[in-house]
Structure 1
Amino acid sequence: MKILFACIICTIILAPSLPCVAQVGEYQPRESHTARRPNYSSQTAVPRPSYRLDRGDVVAVIVQGVTGEFSKAPVHMPKRGDDTLPAVGHPMVVLPDGTLPMPMIRPIDVRGMTIVQARDAISNAYLDERILKKPNQVTLSLMRKRTVSVSVLHEHASPGIRSVSQVKIPSDQADILHALIGSGSFDPDARVSIIRSGHQNSRTSQPLTDGYLTDGYLTDGDIVHARSQPRGYFYTGGRLPGGEFALPRDRQINILQAISAAGGIEHRGIVGPHSVTVIRQNGTAQRFSYPQALNHPHTVLIRPGDTLIVR
């Protein structure tokens, strides 16, 4: 029995390996080029205290004695997924110049106004023209929000596969996250940039910097360009369960993390593992003692195509 244990100890200690500090540059950690996951929480439109009217908005209006009585006004229920409330009144569209055409008076400039401010402006205009005798005879509600039309170009991880979607999103949700979700091709790890549509038909690309965009708001004609990164895999054998395992896209992993991701080492009898071999995709291989791999796991970072063998 003593002879058996002595043999085991000698096998572990004398297992052929090179010191971790003496590895060639191929196995030393290097600057990671993995994709930084975009911070989409910073790219969502900040909710405003009150919705501001602009061209394309549809409002429901009732002016007592002018457009009809409140009791006979039509009721408009919001569509499924619409966050507006039920609206009562006759539909009217805010014109491109920001004005709201009203019967019997001049158009009212409502651009930048809240619903309450626009209602008061309409009421005051009718009072000034002596069409209304008293205030509080105008009802105004938001029927449908204006939309922003953008294109989403998604280059998928599989080479040569692209998808293009035209997306219309409410103006107060005109951000990258809602555009990607609306296109149906959201990838949280994709690299994203915005191609801005300028007034002179010029286009500028604004990429994510360290996961952030300085301006994530979208306007009509903008293009959201998403590029999914191909996923890398590493392979295992020996005392590790044989198989193919995906590498994270946004970070690199070391030997111990790779062993854990593969399901851990299979125990066979009383003899523990004594060596770890990493075979690179280019065919080079290097072996480490298992104790050295435990004590210095960050010496080697696993790359796509690597094969990890534990004996």
Structure 2
Amino acid sequence: MNRKPLQAKKRALRVLRSIKTVAAAGLFCTAFSGCSTLTQPIDGVPANRLPPQFFAEPKNDLVPVDISLLSLEPPRDYQLAGGDILGVYIEGVLPFNPPNAPPEPPPVNFPDAQSTLPPSIGYPIAVQDDGTLALPLIEPLKVEGLTLEQVREAIRDAYIDSEILRPEKARPIVTIIKERTYDVIVVREDGGNLSTQNIAADFIRGTSDRSASGAMVKLPAYQNDVLHALVETGGLPGLNAKNEVKVLRASLADQRKRAQFMQQFYAQQQAARLDPCACPPELPEDPSILRIPLRVKPGVVPNISAKDIELKDGDIVYIESRETEVFYTGGLLPGGEHSLPRDYDLDILGAMAIAGQGVGSAARTGGGSTFGVGSVGGVPPGRVYILRKTPCDGQVAIEVDLAKAINDPRQRPLIQAGDTIILQYKCEEELLNFGLGSFFTYGITELFRN
């Protein structure tokens, strides 16, 4: 009797039983100890069932504001006000000449190197803060809002009416020696040009010092606007600054309004803390601070008036950093903190790519490489959760099926500041990976051993 076929059959049965045993052990261990769906459950809401208020506002379609709206339109003729310095020459009066003495020629004044004014003639006389011009032998003249030609005529008429000069001798010369300027404070937190891709993380970790920079700039009349203040200190806000400009007025009325606003807000917060069922209020918009957006929706023209962008002495132009506009990654994604793009949208697939995890590839850590599966290929993780903060210290977990997200853009939520992204295997994916790993590690070994 030939026993070889019988022995081969028994050997095959032993190998099959070994493989079944290993597979069963793998399924048991995975189900009760390795499946993160069971050990670390997250109650998520599918992205297609989430109400619209939980989604981030898209910004891909935003367009830059016409920067000419941030600049004052100068008048055709320069209009005088307090702080201007005029060059005035009045023959026989300024300077005074004795009778029958030849008149002195007027002095010539050359402007500073930074000035765009032409050379002027005359003796320097400043326009007072009340808008008047003090000249010899006559009452102060009200010149605020007048042009040089109008001031020249007003001086001539004043000396003729006072019978100090005859009409044929009254030929005053009026020029402008120095324009009035406004001292404006500019505080910028954009830190100039970007040198790294992860600016926000550098801020928080302390590896990059991008402290706010401040400057006091002197802006000439009709250039005392937001655009000139930005140009004098480095240009429009950089990529690590918010797409807006804040203007804080230096007037006492605005300062009192800001102080009253903060007192009311903190009083509301204190009252909310005393009530365990109350929701702490969020900081509303300060009515005393002007916010000028730099990007708006197509077709929208921001309501910016000349009064809004005009700056006075002591006003503050503030460029705020966006270092808190970050999202976090965890789970099977490499843990980290990443900054959000400023001018374009970032969906869940793009956020995973930024974190270093390509969609459809095996995870860098976790079950994807267990028992050698990473070396032969395994099932990639197919589910990701977006943990998003809600008002009153709440949270909503958005569940995204990556297979559906790849095929349907509506299944790809946009990432917003403060989100935490957690990548996980589905339970069946982890079971399959564990089974593949067990087979390639133990099954093939057992097959060759028998």
TM-score (norm 2): 0.48
Question: Residues 84-95 of structure 1 correspond to what in structure 2 (within 5 A)?
Answer: 84-95=117-128
Aligned partners of 1:57 and 1:94 also within 8 Å:
yes
Match of 2:290 in 1: 207
Q: In 2 relative to 1, CA 62–28 (structure 1 residues): closer, same or farther, beyond 3 Å?
A: closer
Determine the C-alpha separation between the residues in 2 that align with 1:234 and 1:26. 21
Partner-residue secondary structure (3-state), 1:253 = coil
Match of 2:323 in 1: 230
| Partner AA of 1:170 in structure 2 | P
Aligned partners of 1:235 and 1:307 also within 8 Å:
yes
| Structure (1 or 2) with the greater strand fraction | 1
Q: In 2 relative to 1, CA 294–234 (structure 1 residues): closer, same or farther, beyond 3 Å?
A: farther
Larger radius of gyration between Structure 1 and Structure 2 = 2
Within the candidate set 45, 49, 55, 1:30 is matched to 55
| Partner AA of 1:229 in structure 2 | R
Determine the C-alpha separation between the residues in 2 that align with 1:199 and 1:108. 31
Q: How many Å apart are 1:206 and its aligned residue?
A: 2.2
Q: How many Å apart are 1:221 and its aligned residue?
A: 2.8
Partner-residue secondary structure (3-state), 1:83 = coil
- Report whether the alignment pairs 1:62 with 2:89: yes
Aligned partners of 2:247 and 2:315 also within 8 Å:
no
Determine the C-alpha separation between the residues in 2 that align with 1:88 and 1:155. 44
| Partner AA of 2:345 in structure 1 | Q
Within the candidate set 129, 151, 155, 1:122 is matched to 155
Determine the C-alpha separation between the residues in 1 that align with 2:416 and 2:221. 43
| Structure (1 or 2) with the greater helix fraction | 2
Match of 1:192 in 2: 246
Query: What per-residue deviation string (whole Å, max 9, x for no partner) do you get for residues 246-276 of structure 1?
Result: 63325533367779999xx99xxxxxxx998
Q: In 2 relative to 1, CA 105–124 (structure 1 residues): closer, same or farther, beyond 3 Å?
A: same
Determine the C-alpha separation between the residues in 2 that align with 1:70 and 1:176. 45
Match of 1:271 in 2: none
Unaligned runs of 5+ in 2: 1-44, 96-102, 191-199, 205-209, 259-287, 294-301, 330-335, 360-379, 389-396, 424-450
Within the candidate set 82, 100, 103, 2:136 is matched to 103
Determine the C-alpha separation between the residues in 1 that align with 2:105 and 2:188. 50
Aligned partners of 1:152 and 1:225 also within 8 Å:
yes
Q: How many Å apart are 1:146 and its aligned residue?
A: 1.0
Query: What per-residue deviation string (whole Å, max 9, x for no partner) do you get for residues 146-198 of structure 1?
Result: 11223334455747934443332123222223234434585263441323413
CA RMSD of aligned residues (A): 5.0
Report the count of equivalent residues.
285
Determine the C-alpha separation between the residues in 2 that align with 1:297 and 1:22. 8
Partner-residue secondary structure (3-state), 2:309 = coil
Q: How many Å apart are 1:74 and its aligned residue?
A: 1.3
Aligned partners of 1:275 and 1:290 also within 8 Å:
no
Unaligned runs of 5+ in 1: 1-19, 237-242, 267-273
Between the two proteins, what is the percent identity of the paired residues? Answer: 28
Determine the C-alpha separation between the residues in 1 that align with 2:145 and 2:354. 54
Query: What per-residue deviation string (whole Å, max 9, x for no partner) do you get for residues 82-114 of structure 1?
Result: 333322222111112222122333322211111
Aligned partners of 1:278 and 1:308 also within 8 Å:
yes
- Report whether the alignment pairs 1:172 with 2:222: yes
Determine the C-alpha separation between the residues in 2 that align with 1:58 and 1:93. 4
| Partner AA of 1:300 in structure 2 | P
